[in-house]
Amino acid sequence: MKLLDGKTGIIFGVANKRSIAWAIAQSLSAAGMRLAFTYQGDRLKENVAELAGTLPKSLLYPCDVTSDTEIAGVFEALGRETGALDALVHSVAFAQREDLEGAFSKTSREGFRVAHDISAYSLVALTRAALSLLEKSGQASVVAMTYYGAEKVATGYNVMGVAKASLEATIRYLAADVGARGIRVNAISAGPVNTLAARGIRGFTEILKHHAEKAPLKRNVELREVGDTALFLASPLSSGITGEVIYVDCGYHIMAV
């Protein structure tokens, strides 16, 4: 019997086969979890549907995480299909390109709002809408993705680093808020991986090289390793862990110089 047999999870943020969210989906599915996926707009629907179709009994729903109406619709449909929810994976982040380039002091008011709405507040909105389904699990897990740029200044990360800092604080407050309902909330701080989203960060190739040189393991993290950490956090093996940021970065964050 697999670790997550009979469990159901939903993943927000799959874009393509190289995305962190898809690596997480593969690890959870391999452990026996039935998965639902969401997509934003028709442009992404085909990619996500094709990937979801490779996994058994997967479900697919449209969802714009800035719309409370669409979020509610996802969990209403999921509830009719499954009755309960054991894991929610938040791998959603966005900032306007112009706010990732140049001086941070030039961040626009609208750009700051958009980055925080999509990258941080969406976790609050998703968890709130899913509460009744998560509570029925008895041992549910919410997992979000963050990055070290939330703690230290990362060149080219700018407003996204500030939004990720907000996300990490959100993790702690949500964990305290929903813990009595048997729901755990944690984050994974992954080292840089070559995803489509990461390529939008100026100088990303040099960032990869720097991490591999400075990390104790002398390499960059693999997508599989991030996926397997999400599996751990979604499983009963991590039943005593909540409100934490788990680093999966080959040890890079422990180094001072």
157 is catalytic: yes
CB atoms within 10 A of CB 115: 25
61 is catalytic: no
Query: Are 85 and 133 spatial neighbours (Cβ–Cβ below 8 Å)?
Result: yes
Catalytic residue, chosen from 39, 61, 147, 252, is: 147
Structure tokens at 37: 């996926």
Q: Look at the alpha carbons of 143, 144, 147, 149 in this order and tell me if their dihedral is positive or negative.
A: negative
Q: Enumerate the H helices of the chain as residue ranges.
A: 20-30, 42-52, 68-82, 109-116, 122-137, 158-178, 204-214, 223-234
Catalytic residue, chosen from 61, 157, 247, 252, is: 157
As a whole number of angstroms, the distance between CA 52 and CA 201 comes to 28
As a whole number of angstroms, the distance between CA 68 and CA 76 comes to 12
Catalytic sites, residue numbers: 147, 157
